[in-house]
Amino acid sequence: MSNNEEVVERLLNHFNLTMSAIEKRLGISNGTLGKYKRGAISTPFSLITGLKLNNLNPDYFLTGEGSPEIGS
C-alpha cells in the first residue's frame, strides 16, 4: 500500500464516511482524494487546510504519527 493510500485509509477510518463525503466536509474539490490516492497529484494544500479548519492534525493523517485531533 502506498503512502497516499494509507493517508486516504486513515481519513476513511477516522470519518467513517465515503471519500466524497469527506471531501465535502473538508471543503476539498470532488475527486481530489481519488486522484491523490492514485498518486496522480501530490498532497493537496486544500486537504491540509481542511483538516486544520476541522481541528484535526494533518501530521497524523499524513504520517500516522500522533493523535488525529489537534491538542490531544
pLDDT reading at 2 higher than 90: no
The pLDDT assigned to 64 comes to 94
Mean pLDDT of the chain: 95
DSSP state letters, 2-65:
-HHHHHHHHHHHHH-S-HHHHHHHHTPPTTHHHHHHHTSS---HHHHHHHHHTTB-HHHHHHS-
Report pLDDT digits (tens) over 18-46. 999 999 999 999 999 999 999 999 999 99
Confidence of residue 58 (pLDDT cuts 50, 70, 90): very high
Residues pairing with 69 in the sheet: 56
Phi, psi of 69 (to 5 degrees): -95, 140
